[in-house]
Amino acid sequence: MTQTALITGASRGLGAALARALAPTHHIIAVAKTTGALEELDDRIKAAGGAATLAPMDITNDAAMQTLCRGIHDRWGSLDVWAHAAVHAAPLAPAGMIDAKDMTKSVAGNVTATATLITYLAPLLGTDGTALFFDDPQAGQPFYGSYGATKAAQIALARSWQAEAAKTGPRVHIATPRPMPTATRARFHPGEDRGPLADPQAEAARILAELRA
């Protein structure tokens, strides 16, 4: 039976790296808003002998997420892995100057969409599946108000689910990736020397090894 892995935020960075790392053993369901980047990921997965289903969708679109999850159920019946790498990274700003639209987008992308996806995907993951989240402990740091607060709320949701599912499943794992030269980090740290940063593919391998330990 084909194993399946849903990657939300699969177009670049750690999400794309995880998709490529899981592709030898899983059919990848790749979700992101950027169609071109998803097609590039698909080319790489196919070149390595894997297979993927591309879903160019916005995770804040509830109807799209319902359609996606129904499609997973109808085609495969269940889901083995969900890796949630999608994140909205609003521009850094002092707490007293956070743009209201940026905060609304941060809450919608990082908190509301995560809660909705947990609701939809928990039945597909069942008792044996694995959900994977990625912590980025920036809450309380200067200028990280909207990103830090909403990312912390996302991880709080994951920790609650982790505690609730400890005896019944699915397995909920929260990893803390090392700093990587991603587009999100470049927005937060323009001009940073990217040489010392961790390679996303190496981080994907490390996190999956941690997951399997």
The fourth-level CATH superfamily of domain 4-212 is NAD(P)-binding Rossmann-like Domain (3.40.50.720)
List all residues 6 or more positions away from 68 whose beta carbon is below 8 Å from its beta carbon: 29, 31, 55, 57
pLDDT greater than 90 at residue 191 = no
CA 131 to chain centre: 10
CB 75 within 8 A of CB 121: no
Q: What is the pLDDT of residue 190?
A: 86
- Please, which pLDDT band fits residue 213 given cuts at 50, 70 and 90? confident
For a pLDDT cut of 70, what percent of the chain falls above it? 100
Assessment of whether the complete model's pTM goes beyond 0.75: yes
- Sketch the domain layout of the chain as residue ranges: 4-212
**pLDDT tens-digit profile of 36-84?**
999 999 999 999 999 999 999 999 999 999 999 999 999 999 999 999 9
**CB neighbourhood size of 212 (10 A):** 7
Band the pLDDT of 198: cuts 50, 70, 90: very high
